[in-house]
Amino acid sequence: MAIPTSSIDAVIPSGPVAETAPPAAARRRRLRFVANPKAATGLVILGIFLLIAVIGPWIAPYDPSARGADLVAPPSGEHWFGTTHLGQDIFSQVLVGTRGVIFVGFLAGAVATVLSVLIGVTAGYLGGAADEGLSALSNVFLVIPALPLVIILASTIQSAGDLVVALVIGFTSWAWGARVLRAQTLSLRRRDYVEAARASGESTWRIVLFEILPNLTAIIASNFVGTVIFAVMSEITLAFIGISTISEWNWGTILFWAQSQQALAQGAWWWFVPAGLAIALLGTALSLVNFGIDEFVSPRLRSSGKAKVRTADGRVVRMRVGFTPVLAAPTSTPPPVPEGAAVLTNAEGKAAGR
């Protein structure tokens, strides 16, 4: 039996075919993280610090330990950040000290992140006895204080340097991240796509790498950034309290000498302000990168204050996080009532409806 053309058109409308996204749009989606103002600002500041950490000792105008004739001199064309009580150039000390801070922070963050991923994801996916054992190990490391342990090791081991400090902080800072990853893995391992991959015969390592880890990227990145911030502050704290077995110059060492020589009482603000600003800028950069990661993976945060909805009458409503937009009724006049038509009140209408 022949089907009329009108019936075919009713079933399959002859409208325009949806076009695929142009290459420019796809490229914008891939670069959405870099396009985020917070993430871009944090990455630029962080990149500057990484560059200084690499080339800082080469571009330093003076030897940071060399003494000079200008004692506690304010900033000038010869000494951009002034000098110390021994005539040492503070600008050179800040440049050279950046390497130790960045090295300890990123190495400790990498070690802690790798351990938290290995232990947390393994415990959450395997379950059973493996989960119990790894969870118990995580609970033990949760109560180990990193900073006192570093102080004890630095006082005991005479040759303890930046590497020892970074490894101790990394090996004692992974437990919290592992607990979070374990909880998320327990939630993901029973999802439909994981069950489908397991039913199709995929190996365990392939399911973990390609099905579970991509959904944990935001948590892993956040743990890494948080550990870097903690390691940087710990390393600076150790130098500030006078642990001399770590690197000779870092930002904490500058603050230690400024405090011990009463730079604030002498009015030598240039002695401690540059190092303090460097610490604040590095922490701000890492925090901005963390905020950018959260907004990149969370559509609710990404659309904060940006998504717009156009109503039927042409008005634009801006979506905001935490608020549900309620559109007011249109202000158009009601249609005229024909002559002779009965007009019911609300009470009469309800009665008629019953």
- Tens digits of residue pLDDT in 52-78: 999 988 988 888 888 888 888 888 888
- Other C-beta atoms closer than 10 Å to the C-beta of 215 total 16
Task: Over range 22-46, report the average pLDDT.
Answer: 72
In this structure, what DSSP letter does residue 203 have? -
pLDDT value for 316: 66
Let me know if 185 is exposed, middle or buried by CB neighbors in 10 A (0-12, 13-18, 19+).
Answer: buried
* Residue with the larger pLDDT of the pair 193 and 32: 193
In this structure, what DSSP letter does residue 145 have? -
How far apart CA 250 and CA 102 sit, in angstroms, is: 10
Token pair recorded at residue 318: 């801006």
Kindly tell me if the per-residue pLDDT of 351 is higher than 50: no
- Tens digits of residue pLDDT in 310-339: 666 667 666 554 445 455 555 555 555 555
Cβ atoms of residues 66 and 88 within 8 Å: yes
Q: Strand 316-318 vs strand 308-310: parallel, antiparallel, or unpaired? A: antiparallel
Helix (H) or strand (E) holding 121: helix 90-126
Spatial CB neighbours of 304, under 8 Å, sequence gap ≥ 6: 295, 320, 321
- Tens digits of residue pLDDT in 162-217: 888 888 888 888 988 899 999 989 888 888 888 888 888 888 888 888 888 888 88
CA 133 to chain centre: 30
Token pair recorded at residue 121: 């994801």
Kindly tell me if the per-residue pLDDT of 240 is higher than 60: yes
How far apart CA 185 and CA 212 sit, in angstroms, is: 7
Residue 109 banded pLDDT, cuts 50, 70, 90: very high
- The packing angle between helices 217-240 and 273-297, to 10°, is 170
Buried b (16+ CB within 10 A) or exposed e, 116-128: bbebbbbbbbeee
pLDDT value for 349: 47
Average pLDDT over the chain, rounded to an integer: 78
Taking CA atoms, 346 is separated from 329, 343, 349, in Å, by 18, 10, 5
Nearest partner of 75 among 67, 86, 84, judged by Cα = 84
Task: Over range 234-241, report the average pLDDT.
Answer: 84
How far apart CA 305 and CA 102 sit, in angstroms, is: 35
pLDDT value for 295: 77
Let me know if 216 is exposed, middle or buried by CB neighbors in 10 A (0-12, 13-18, 19+).
Answer: buried
Residue 238 banded pLDDT, cuts 50, 70, 90: confident
Radius of gyration for the chain, computed over Cα atoms and rounded to the nearest angstrom: 31
In this structure, what DSSP letter does residue 83 have? B
Place of tokens 């050279």: 96
Counting residues of the chain whose pLDDT is more than 90, the rounded percentage is 16
Residue 17 banded pLDDT, cuts 50, 70, 90: very low
- Other C-beta atoms closer than 10 Å to the C-beta of 347 total 8
- Tens digits of residue pLDDT in 202-221: 888 888 888 888 888 888 98
How many Cα atoms occupy the beta-carbon half-sphere of 105 within 13 Å?
A: 25
Please state the length of the chain: 354
Q: Where are the beta strands (DSSP E) in the chain?
A: 308-310, 316-318
* Residue with the larger pLDDT of the pair 1 and 127: 127
Let me know if 11 is exposed, middle or buried by CB neighbors in 10 A (0-12, 13-18, 19+).
Answer: exposed
